[in-house]
Amino acid sequence: MAEAGDAQAGMGRSKDPPDSVRLQAVAARGERLDRFLAARLPQYSRTRLQRWIDLGAVSCDERLLGRATRLAGHESILVEPQPLEADRAFVAEPVEFDVRYQDDQVLVVSKQAGLVVHPGAGNWHGTLMNGLLHRFAKQAMLPRAGIVHRLDKETSGLLVVARTEAARQHLIGQLADRSMSRRYLAVCLGRVAAPTDIDAPIGRDPRNRLRMATSEAGKPARTIVRPLAEGSLEQQPVTLVHCQLHSGRTHQIRVHCAHIGHPLIGDVVYGGPVLAGFGRQALHAYRLAFMSPGTGDGGPFIEPLPDDMRRLLATAGIDAALVEAGLADTDETVR
């Protein structure tokens, strides 16, 4: 990780991705982000830097920034240079996805397993972002086409997309203060006997940059796991669990469940076995609630389990419909 500007010694060195650049916005009060980057990184064209901003490769304290962001003069800005393929990633493409709700400020999207949310290494095209640009052309005016949070490629379920810059900032604020509610259903290996509050920091796995791991040097992360039903797959006990996020770290549920000895079925990255032919992590974002900046409403929105997880549960001897009915009884108004 290269560092430029008047940074404090060692600031961010152990946590920043390799090949990234950290810039200190000293004496840059009121300056636009894209102009600041162009002046500090003259080896890259301003157009290319703007594309990186749009792709979400420029951040401050894990908060993504827009091209026209006005700097306060004290920010520590992380820039992650992207390969040439990234310059052609921000294009409209016909990608299938379902919209569950829309107004002038937000979209609520249901993502199928196998769909990548945002372009990145090895997946520069055919992502949800490309599909948003194709279906809603004005999303091109927003960083990452309005995407403010992600689901892993093989995780299904709901996420919210901003349609205006004001909505984007509003939603980012809700993610930061944890007022946005995100709940998941997952199938874990073993018997989860009782509700478990997992409070374990998460950071990049030092031995494998593609994985995350619990680490004292990581960022705070908390997940509440509650067992819903027990079953069996290939003579191994499994548990359907409800997971509630109180932070939003990469791979959080997958890492935390593995941390307590109950990796997700199909999650081979974190030690979950492939049972009954289920080859992806058994994880579904079933419930999403937030405050829409336009209407003040924001759900909760409920997305039923996808067919592949319903079949997995049936094989395990768990009645998915009965579980979902019980969840609906405890939720607020279901949309």
Q: Give the model's pLDDT for residue 35.
A: 93
Q: Give the model's pLDDT for residue 335.
A: 37
d(CA 117, CA 111): 8
pLDDT digits (tens, 9 = 90+) for 277-328: 999 999 999 999 999 887 777 779 999 999 999 999 999 999 999 998 888 7
269 HSE (CA, 13 A, CB side):
19
Q: Give the model's pLDDT for residue 9.
A: 31
The pTM of this model reads 0.83
Q: Give the model's pLDDT for residue 15.
A: 58
Going by C-alpha positions, the residue among 7, 65, 3, 67 that lies closest to residue 32 is 67
Q: Give the model's pLDDT for residue 18.
A: 63
Is residue 152 annotated as a catalytic residue, yes or no?
Answer: yes
Regions of the chain with pLDDT less than 50: 1-14, 332-335
Q: Give the model's pLDDT for residue 194.
A: 96
d(CA 191, CA 193): 6
Q: Give the model's pLDDT for residue 334.
A: 35
Sole residue written with tokens 């520590």: 76
Q: How far is CA 259 from the centre of its chain?
A: 20
Q: What is the DSSP string of 172-236?
A: HHHHHTT-SEEEEEEEEES---S-EEEE--EEE-TT-TT-EEE-TTSB--EEEEEEEEEEEETTE
Residue 99: which H helix or E strand, with range?
strand 98-102
Structure tokens at 136: 């809603």
Q: Give the model's pLDDT for residue 311.
A: 97
CA geometry: angle 266, 269, 275, nearest 5 deg: 20
Q: What is the DSSP letter of 294?
A: T
The active-site residue out of 34, 152, 267, 308 is 152
